[in-house]
Amino acid sequence: LPGLYIVATPIGNLGDLSPRAAQVLSNAAIIAVEDSRVTAGLLRHIGVKRPMTPYHDHNADAVRPGLIARMGSEVVALVSDAGTPLISDPGYKLVRDARAAGHLVATVPGPCAAVAALTLAGLPTDRFLFVGFLPSKQQARAEAIAEVAGIRATLVLYESGPRLAACLTALAEGLGDREAGVAREITKKFEECVTGTLTQLAARYADSPPKGEIVVIVAPPGAPEPASDEDGDAALAEALTRLP
């Protein structure tokens, strides 16, 4: 059926491309891509050749109307270089405008580094907050961390190797020394997930910035919920009854 198909692609291991993703890409009249060289490699892997058009932050506004126009009669696929489009990647405005135009919007879910890292770290997963990339400037980063410090959820952040140690140090300062995990090169040959407290991890990576792509997972604040005023009053009243 014609429409917009959001297609997740592997984050390292090409074996993670789903049969349905391969099928939709094979049938696409046009594939909107971040980097045509990266997607060309993926298409080669499945033995198909389809037309591609770049879709990234710098040209999205200009090319979006043309893509929307084609969705009425053709299969338009959106992929990013790796993982799920729209997750720290372009695409939400394309989905918004496709919906507004009344086109079919379908998703072909698959790999996502954030979710994959959550499955590796061994930290609570019942509530998590995807933070994406923190700002790189120190002050803005500290503010962004302060904003999420009180949230009772596991935090998921994307980071790069050269900035990892500084990021972990800033997290320890802003959140306290929580348990955390650094997931690296997920689904690739050197996949690893190193766990420890934020300061332990910061020390580990301080002098040896790791290579490759990284997701940082941080445990929720550990302290029990502060007792409410009412609880406090009740506890005091109860204690008073036991005084001689």
Contact footprint for ligand SAM (CB under 6 A):
11-12, 80, 82-84, 87-89, 112-114, 158-160, 183-188, 213-215
- Which tokens go with 87? 């997750």
CB nearer ligand SAM, residue 79 or residue 219: 79
- Strand, helix or coil for residue 118: helix
Q: How far is the CB of 181 from ligand SAM (least distance, A)?
A: 11
| Angle, helices 92-100/60-71, rounded to nearest 10 degrees | 40
CB nearer ligand SAM, residue 70 or residue 204: 204
CB nearer ligand SAM, residue 34 or residue 179: 34
CB nearer ligand SAM, residue 53 or residue 187: 187
CB nearer ligand SAM, residue 80 or residue 154: 80
- Which residues pair with residue 27 across a beta bridge? none
CA distance 131 to 146: 12
CA distance 209 to 164: 7
CA distance 151 to 128: 9
Pairing state between β 105-108 and 3-7: parallel
- Quote the distance between the C-alpha of residue 41 and its chain's center: 23
CB nearer ligand SAM, residue 71 or residue 157: 157
- Which residues pair with residue 147 across a beta bridge? none
Q: How far is the CB of 32 from ligand SAM (least distance, A)?
A: 14
User: Are the C-beta atoms of residues 195 and 18 closer than 8 Å to each other?
Assistant: no
Q: How far is the CB of 233 from ligand SAM (least distance, A)?
A: 47
- Which tokens go with 16? 């993670």
- Which tokens go with 41? 């490699």
CA distance 117 to 56: 25
Q: How far is the CB of 243 from ligand SAM (least distance, A)?
A: 57
- Which tokens go with 136? 């790189």
Q: How far is the CB of 23 from ligand SAM (least distance, A)?
A: 20
CB nearer ligand SAM, residue 16 or residue 74: 16
DSSP H or E segment with residue 71: helix 60-71
Q: How far is the CB of 11 from ligand SAM (least distance, A)?
A: 4
Q: Tell me the residue nearest to ligand SAM as measured from the CB.
A: 83
Q: How far is the CB of 150 from ligand SAM (least distance, A)?
A: 24
